[in-house]
Amino acid sequence: MAIVITGASRGIGAGLHAAYTARGQTVVGTIRSGEDETGAWRSLDVTDPESVARFAAGLDSVPVDLLVCNAGVYPDKGMKLADDYPAEIWAEAFATNVSGVFLVIQALLPNLQMAESPRIAILSSHMASTLRAPGGSYVYRASKAAALNLGRNLATDLAPLGIAVGIYHPGWVLTEMGGPKAEITVEQSVAGLLERFEALTPERTGVFETWKGDPLDV
């Protein structure tokens, strides 16, 4: 059995990789470029279908018990509506935060079906909620809302295969993306997420909740 974590080179992804490795789990973390001889780190660009196909081929016959779709970008942080938001950043965000999630899940479906209790965890955000609309961050909010919608629909379609899907808000975390004013550390977020992933079962598929287990409104 293996745990696959996309975007594991830094931040929450790196924290999850370290935590599962410390538990003695077989963990495969992805980085944009470069690999190591142990197989614990493998190259993957989630926006590139050929890269996704190569990554999946490298996991041939490896059962994946947990797939954590963590890779994400926040290209419009701090942008102003009047004079920012070029079309390119919309494409970048959706290619990483939405279609990248779908492509990886689609490619690893055979591996997930080999596992006894397969689970998929999609890291979205409370900013995906349509009830939480303070304005700004249009690209990030829209892409994370799309990731939430994607996860909810995958939960329906993958339920007959016994694959559980959960969508999670990791908290406002002290990372490069979260910034210095964030509320919690990577270690706090990771500890909560580990519990959430462990609690994910077919009966709870489709959940949208925080790192602490609080349900979120869509």
Residue 82 lies in a domain: yes
* Overall domain count for the chain: 1
Instruction: Tell me how far apart the alpha carbons of residues 65 and 79 are, in angstroms, rounded to a whole number.
Output: 39
Q: Note down the domain range covering 183.
A: 2-210
Residue 216 lies in a domain: no
Residue 135 lies in a domain: yes
pTM passes above 0.85: yes
Q: pLDDT tens-digit profile of 128-168? A: 988 888 889 999 999 999 999 999 999 999 999 999 999 99
Instruction: Tell me how far apart the alpha carbons of residues 89 and 69 are, in angstroms, rounded to a whole number.
Output: 20
The pLDDT value given to residue 38 = 64
Residue from 103, 195, 173 nearest 209 by CA: 195
Residue 26 lies in a domain: yes
The pLDDT value given to residue 143 = 97
Residue 217 lies in a domain: no
Residue 15 lies in a domain: yes
Q: pLDDT tens-digit profile of 23-82? A: 999 999 999 876 665 667 899 999 999 999 999 999 999 999 999 999 999 999 989 998
Domain holding 197: CATH number? 3.40.50.720
The pLDDT value given to residue 65 = 98
Residue 187 lies in a domain: yes
Residue 101 lies in a domain: yes
Q: pLDDT tens-digit profile of 85-94? A: 999 999 999 9
